[in-house]
Structure 1
Amino acid sequence: MADSELRQRKAKAEPETTKPSSKHDDAQDDDKASFYLDILRVLSFIVVASCGLSYVVTGGSSWTWGGVRLPEYARTVYWKERLSGPMYMTPEELAQHNGADTEKPLYLAINGTIYDVSVSRHIYGPGGSYQYFGGRDAARAYVTGCFAEDAVPDMRGVEEMYLPIDDPEVDAYWTTAQMEEMKKQERAAAEEKAFNALKHWVDFFAKSKKYHRVGYLKREEGWLDKMPRRQLCAPAQKGRSKRKIPKV
């Protein structure tokens, strides 16, 4: 058999090699684009999830794990407090938990009851909008709204912010007996309003799922009598109004 014929038969027996089609190239390119897009989606999810977790773990103070602090339930002191029962702290001891020392839990007290507000360190700690409440019992400030001036537990005279201002011209419309009776009723109503205003915040912390009670303030006997009686702060005083002239 001639060499040329053998070469022809061999060529027919071997499969022809062809270059991949352009459609095949496009499909590969699409697969690569999809692969990279999936990677981008996964990375985006990780970044978003990390930011969200950072916000939760740091108590809302950072989206990027700045100053990361373990949640209270993951700290030894949290369980130590739970197992040892309620604490009794003096005002001086409570003041050590005002948030300045980040290694200590942040406490505040209201009406003698102490709460752990460490999860809101950015609010009740130094520089926070409610920093005057951290490390102390500032019951008076909750009612008057004078955070800096009234960050004390002394509630004496707070009811005056709900009393009308005496005005001789207006008050002349009532007899002396009528005025005395009316003032008794006004004071009773004012005392109830002051009580309810404080109770609102007492209930707020008592029912909160975010803050938990850790103990009570321990004060020396007669502590309130040793404090000078406070004047009503300017904003609370400004909110008072005159009596309305009775309609004839």
Structure 2
Amino acid sequence: MNTMTLWGISGWGFAALAFAALLVGFSKTAVSGANTVSLAVFAAVLPARASTGVLLPILIAGDVLAVLTYRRHAHWPTLWRLFPAVAAGVVFGTLFLVWADDAIVRTSIGAILLLMAGVTIWRRRTADADEDPDAVTTRAGRVKARSYGVLGGFTTMVANAGGPVMSMYLLSAGFRKLGFLGTSAFFFLIVNTSKVPFSVGLGLIDGNSLLLDAALVAFVVPGALIGKWAVNRINQRLFEQLVIAATIVGGLQLLLR
């Protein structure tokens, strides 16, 4: 694999990666979905496929910090309902990566993100009231959970872009701010950790990528602290608008890059 080493990156390139790592920490503790910007930065500085392997350990570091911050707010019934569908999506995404090139991957994920954002905006404008997270026990709710779960697993495997898909699901299920962050924190810690063997098998993670991760992971911590400070100053409506906006920006970045 053509993973770049730490010494093969320019000063400006490393600064861009450091900012993207800081943004990962911020997104994990404040505005989930914002790390799609990090995805674009990593893919611009590093070879596209190699960038996913470098980014994954950075995301896991952010997940650990998010779990430590919001562990008391997770909604475990939602997580248990999602995991089987997500596992299927991860397997499908692995097979897709074997076949697809970078252009196909970017176009597919970008289209999915924009579709999910559009559906969520439409649902929130037409709904009379927020749904309760436990409403996914209905048949329609289970179908929705499985659909988002497969899409989330697929997008997180092929481009580390599962955050916006799951953000759209959690918003559509009526999660409030802290429940949203706590549930997504545990979800992505488990899912991203489970992706490591697949990424190693595909050659996306190797010694060079881990060396670069070691230099970048320290920037995740201040980002997470900034996010924890900011989330207490963001009201629920603004929080939801920021999540949807980050999803749309991420989708457009993938389609237009």
Q: TM-score range by the shorter chain?
A: under 0.3
When the two structures are superposed, what TM-score results if normalisation uses the length of structure 1? Answer: 0.27
- Bigger radius of gyration among the two: 1
**Which structure carries more strand by proportion?**
1
**TM-score scaled by length of structure 2:** 0.27
**Structure of greater relative contact order (alpha carbons < 8 Å, 6+ residues apart):** 2
